Amino acid sequence: MSDLLGMFQGLMNGFGIAFTLNNLMFALLGAFLGTIVGILPGLGPAATISLLLPLSFKIGSPVTSIIMMAGIFYGAMYGGSTTSILVNIPGEAASVVTCIDGYQMALKGRAGPALGISAIGSFIAGTLGVIGLTFVAPPLAEFALKFGPPEYFSLTILGLLMASLLGGTSILKGLIMIVLGLLLGSVGLDPISGAIRFTWGFFMLQEGVDFVTLAMGLFGIGEILYNLEKELKTELVTKKISHLWPTLKDWAESKWAIVRGSFIGFFIGILPGGGAVISSLVSYAVEKKISKHPEEFGKGAIQGVAGPESANNSAASASFIPLLTLGIPGNAAIAMIFAALLIQGVQPGPFLITERPDVFWGVVASMYIGNAMLLILNLPLVGMWVQLLRVPYAILAPIIVLFCCIGVYSVRNTVFDIWIMGIFGVFGYLLRKLDFEPGPMILAFVLGPILERSLRQALLISAGSPWIFFKRPISGTMMGFLLLFILFQIVMTLRKKWSKGSS
Amino acid sequence: MKKVKTIGWLLVCCSLLLAPGLGGAQEKFPTKPIELVVPFAAGGSTDVLARLVAKFAPKYFDKPLVVINKPGGGGVTGTEGVVRSAPNGHILYVGYGSGHDLVMPHFQKLPYKTFEDLSSVCLLSVHSVVIIIRADAPYKTMKEMIEWGKKKEQVTASVSTKAGSVDITFQAVGKTTGLKMVTVPFRGGAESVTAIVGGQTDCGGNHPSEVISHIKAKRLIPIAVALEQRDPAIPDVPTFKELGYNVVTAGSVKGVAAPKGTPPEAIRYLAERFKKVCEDQEFIQAMKDIGQPVMYKGPVDFAKYLQDGYEQYGKLIKEFNVKLE
């Protein structure tokens, strides 16, 4: 009990810190900047925080600057869905899934409800995530530590299985895309032996193809090339825009998807590495499985937007847990915040909460406020974004290309990546012509390296015995699920075939 | 159109931050802000070092120092960018002496010559390799671990990358102690720390800056340092030599370099001002807190130090037959 009391007291003190005019202003600034960079394709929160880092020393106290940086990070998660829905460009790996139904909704004139439900879902999930961060951070961080190579392997296999279900019409085409993605993910240094693979002599390829480069090419440029073929229409979306806001029916359909997505995102999002991506995949798969109309998925089902968007937002909150409680940064943007804390003389880790309670609770409290700010900031923007679809495509397309180039360049400050993006743009165009879905490919590209690394690490640890995947409780449980799932699918398929044959 | 305008302004601001000022021609060095190119991702130990230097620089430099991250190719891409830039002292490489300078050239040909194409400016810090174990491991010292390990099929060690300074250190540990050491490469220092904190491997090797908070939290115990002398960041930890094992590496060296052909007066200016930063008491304390002890050497001493480190790694790699396959 005294523990809980201490937490409340800490949180209250945190609110005291977060509610000073100065900190409120910087939280708002962070949320605002985050929304903008989230929307701009390619320009991610990590790059933004790194640009603002020198400025943050001038702001003064570490609390204030971290409040702003955290705002940029979770603000970007709000904005990330916007380009996925409007123009089919995922700004980050965790929004790839949103493209599938989000863009379809936009094509049907339902961009408003899609954006609205993402903002509301993001708010609910973000807040639930912060509540989790407040009360269960330390024990969950210990749980995350139990995730070693065998657990990552099992989880990633599970994720890939989910990705194969995204394939759309043909399972074979989905599998081809996954294999291509895995191959593409193997470009660069071999994660275990350090040997150079498929780099064609380019040093820039030693660390592989960058996600942003691939996503902008495959989705952004590919889509534009494809649209160029069509007769030039004045608007991308010809059908009239029916509702600006989600209707009560939309809300009824997506409220539980939001709640489920929040929980999935929170628990998987704690894991450093692929947490957020896998959580969005799992959420999508869960929604499709339990839906009464699974056939609507891929054609603009609102749950397919609400679930994954909520999952990636609560994953964003959860990713602060390993940083604040263990001093372990889980992704690039969090690593920047980690560095900022270090430079300010604050050591993130187990002692943060006792040594610098002002930083810990101040930042946590500011996240409650920031999420509310983001909702207020984002809802009015929905109307503006929907208007954007009225911009003639002849103007919109070059702007998208320009922003893709800037985004890709900003990742590593090199023109080389823009060329790579161009190549993948042409490839993306071909995929559309041949009716392949690029989603599974890019997800396999993200998950492939994690899969390979964890498999080989686990086998090194076990001296070559594959039993390690079944012996360890968490990994064994996931493997069990996996086998059951595959068995279930096989039985279902056979039964279908059998009943067809007999009738 | 509002969006376009907002974005436009944002871009203008960004480009202002990114672009170096347009300096006049015949002024005294430096005529514009000095770029510190870090060839690694933001947030890593080299990046934090560069940013701390930049934070303290305004007191001693006439123009601001701006940190730019150019990650890729294990550090080669960003370094090559500096090698190919105008040699006027306004573009510097921070991290000179990292793995891709001292270790990688032994395995593959780089697109530039590490020592001929870069002029050393000064050394800022040396990161030792420290061997760490979990606090609840059945062994508490190097000696106990070796005894424990001899009864086992293998001893696993988490390392940040294959054929880096940590990996080579463990190869040397295996050879000199007779243990069957299996190194498990992770993706960078942070992930390998997570693995050892989580007890995935029997031991780990990291730079002190990566584990100092876990040592303070008593989750991890440092058992040996692979340097010639003890590391000032963790002065209580004995070296391998003290323990009776011949495992010595140069660690990871973090200095500053300028492209070949940079005017000597610019190098002199830079070395002098960096020295002043390195003598700043607040800077020394800040560096100590993050586990990166300050170690300054001027251009000539630093060049020799690098050459020695390079040759030492070459010797170790040959001796232990480390290969990339």
A459 band by pLDDT with thresholds 50, 70 and 90:
very high
Inter-chain CB proximity B73 and A204 less than 8 Å: yes
Confidence of residue A168 (pLDDT cuts 50, 70, 90): low
The pLDDT score that the predictor gives to residue B10 is 52
B21 or B261, which is more confident: B261
Tokens representing A369 are 């406020």
Cβ contact A463–B289 (<8 Å) = no
Chain A interface, best mutation among B5, B200, B201, B214, by max A CB count within 10 A: B200
Q: Pick the more confident residue, B57 or A412.
A: B57
Each residue of B139-155: pLDDT tens digit? 999 999 999 999 999 99
Q: Nearest CA to CA, how far is B306 from chain A (Å)? A: 23
List all residues 6 or more positions away from B35 whose beta carbon is below 8 Å from its beta carbon. Answer: B20, B65, B66, B68, B90, B91, B92
If you measure CA to CA, which chain B residue comes closest to A53?
B51
Q: Residue A403 pLDDT more than 90?
A: no
C-beta of residue A98 within 8 angstroms of C-beta of residue A318: no
How high is the pLDDT of residue A242? 63
CA B163 to chain A, closest CA, distance in angstroms equals: 7
Partners of A196 on chain B (C-beta within 8 Å) are 108, 324
CB–CB contact B187 A207 (8 Å):
no
Confidence category of residue B23, pLDDT binned at 50, 70, 90? very low
Question: Which of the pair, A200 or B90, is modelled with greater confidence?
Answer: B90
Which residues in chain B touch residue A329, judged by CB atoms under 8 angstroms apart? 43, 190
pLDDT > 70 fraction of chain A, expressed in percent and rounded? 95
* A-interface mutation test, from B184, B186, B219, most A Cβ less than 10 A away: B184
Question: Among A105-119, A125-139, A488-502, where is mean pLDDT lowest?
Answer: A488-502
Binned at pLDDT 50, 70 and 90, residue B25 comes out as very low
Residues of B in contact with A207 (CB under 8 A): 71-74
Note whether B81 and B70 are within 8 A (CB). Answer: yes
Residue A289, pLDDT score:
83
CB contact under 8 A, B156 and A460: yes
pLDDT digits (tens, 9 = 90+) for B213-248: 889 889 999 999 999 999 999 999 999 999 999 999
CA distance B322 to chain A (A): 10
CB contact under 8 Å between A349 and B2, yes or no, is: no
Max avg pLDDT among A95-104, B32-41, B256-265:
B256-265
Per-residue three-class SS string for chain B: CHHHHHHHHHHHHHHHHHCCCCCCCCCCCCCCCEEEEECCCCCCHHHHHHHHHHHHHHHCCCCCEEEEECCCHHHHHHHHHHHCCCCCCCEEEEEECCHHHHCHHHCCCCCCCCCCCEEEEEEEEEECCEEEEECCCCCCCHHHHHHHHHCCCCEEEEECCCCCHHHHHHHHHHHHHCCCEEEEECCCHHHHHHHHHCCCCCEEEECHHHHHHHHHCCCEEEEEECCCCCCCCCCCCCEHHHHCCCCCCCCEEEEEEEECCCCHHHHHHHHHHHHHHHHCHHHHHHHHHCCCCEEEECHHHHHHHHHHHHHHHHHHHHHHCCCCC
The tens digit of pLDDT for each residue in B82-106 reads 999 999 999 999 999 998 999 989 9
**What is the rounded average pLDDT of the residues A488-497?**
84
Nearest by CB: B216 against A195, A348, A351: A351
The answer to whether residue B50 scores a pLDDT higher than 60 is yes
What DSSP character marks residue A354? H
Alpha carbon separation from B100 to A493, B106, B115 (Å, rounded): 53, 9, 12
Mean pLDDT across chain A: 86
Give the model's confidence band at B22: pLDDT under 50 very low, under 70 low, under 90 confident, else very high. very low
Pick the residue from chain A with its C-alpha nearest to B201: A461
Mean pLDDT confidence for B116-142: 95
Which of B15, B213, B322 to probe by mutation at the A interface, max A CB count within 10 Å? B213
Q: How confident is the model at residue B20 (pLDDT cuts 50, 70, 90)?
A: very low
pLDDT at A411 over 80: no
Residue B16 has pLDDT above 60, yes or no: no
What is the structure's pLDDT at B189?
82
Amino acid at A172: L
Distance from CA of A303 to the nearest CA of B (A): 28
| Residue-wise pLDDT tens digits, A344-379 | 888 887 788 888 899 999 999 999 999 999 999 988
User: Across the interface, do A192 and B44 touch by the CB < 8 Å criterion?
Assistant: no
pLDDT of residue B86: 93
Please tell me which of the candidates A203, A328, A453 has its beta carbon nearest to residue B193: A328
Kindly tell me if the per-residue pLDDT of B138 is higher than 90: yes
* A:B CB pairs within 8 Å: 161
Q: How many C-alpha atoms does A298 have within 13 Å on its Cβ side?
A: 15
Q: What is the value of pTM for the model shown?
A: 0.84
Phi, psi of B209 (to 5 degrees): -60, -25
pLDDT for residue A451? 93
Contact A261, A314 (CB under 8 A): yes
Residue with tokens 């995530």: A129
Mean pLDDT of A384-392: 82
∠ CA B71-B73-B76 to the nearest 5 degrees? 85
pLDDT for B33 equals: 93
- Per DSSP (E only), the strands in A331-400 are none
Q: Please name which of A432, A391, A417 lies closest in space to residue A111, comparing C-alpha atoms.
A: A391
Comparing alpha-carbon positions, the chain A residue that sits nearest to B291 is A342
> Tens digit of pLDDT for each residue in B279-294?
999 999 999 988 899 9
Indicate the Cα dihedral angle A376, A377, A379, A380, nearest 10°: 110
Contacts of B108 in chain A (CB under 8 A): 196
Q: Closest approach of chain B CAs to the CA of A36, in angstroms?
A: 8
Report helix, strand or coil for A414: coil
> Is the pLDDT assigned to residue A274 strictly greater than 70?
no
Nearest CA in chain A to B40: A412
Q: Is the pLDDT of residue B24 over 50?
A: no
Give the contacts of A393 (CB within 8 A, at least 6 positions apart): A227, A232, A233, A234, A235, A236
pLDDT of A139 higher than 60: yes
The C-alpha torsion from A291 through A293 and A298 to A299, rounded to 10°, is -140
Question: Which of A461, A468, A471, A475 to probe by mutation at the B interface, max B CB count within 10 Å?
Answer: A461
Measured between alpha carbons, how far is B115 from B306 in angstroms, rounded to an integer? 9
CB A20 within 8 A of CB A366: no
Interchain CB distance below 8 Å, B41 and A335: yes
**Reported confidence tier of residue A167, pLDDT bands at 50, 70, 90:** low
Across the interface, whether the CB atoms of A329 and B190 are under 8 A apart is answered yes
Contacts of residue A249, defined as CB under 8 A and 6 or more positions apart, other chains included, come to none
Q: What are phi and psi of B253, to 5 degrees?
A: -95, 135
Q: How far is CA A230 from the centre of its chain?
A: 31
- Cα separation, A488 vs B108, in Å, equals 50
Label the pairing between strands B118-127 and B294-297. Answer: antiparallel
Chain A residues whose CB is inside 8 A of the B290 CB are 342, 347
The C-alpha atoms of residue B83 and residue B101 are separated, in whole angstroms, by 13
What average pLDDT does chain B have? Answer: 88
How distant is the Cα of A27 from the closest Cα of chain B, in angstroms? 18
Tokens of A199: 């780099």
More reliable by pLDDT, B132 or A325: B132
Sort out which chain B residues have CB atoms less than 8 A from A412's CB and list them.
Answer: 70-72, 77
- In our burial notation (b when 16+ CB lie closer than 10 A, e otherwise), range B181-208 reads bbbbbbebbbbbbbbbbbebbbbbbbbb
Task: State residue A376's pLDDT score.
Answer: 92
Residue given tokens 């065998």 in the structure block: A150
Nearest to B73 by CA among B102, B37, B43, B111: B111
Which tokens sit at B177?
């102690």
Closest C-alpha to B142, from B252, B251, B237:
B237
Listed in sequence order, the residues at least 6 apart from B218 whose beta carbon sits closer than 8 Å to its beta carbon are: B135
Strands B130-134 and B181-185: unpaired
| Interface predicted TM-score (ipTM) of this complex, two decimals | 0.81
List of chain A residues whose C-beta atoms are within 8 Å of the C-beta of residue B45: none
For A68-113, the pLDDT digits (tens) are: 999 999 898 888 888 889 888 887 788 888 998 999 998 888 889 9
pLDDT bucket at A1, cuts 50 / 70 / 90: very low
Contact B71 A412 (CB under 8 A): yes
Band (pLDDT 50/70/90 cuts) for residue A196 is confident
The dihedral region occupied by A247, where left means phi > 0, alpha psi between -120 and 50, and beta the remainder, is beta
Check CB contact under 8 Å for A207 and B154. no
| Structure tokens belonging to residue B114 | 């590490």
Name which of A72, A202, A353, A412 to mutate to probe chain B: the one with the most chain B Cβ atoms within 10 A of its Cβ: A412
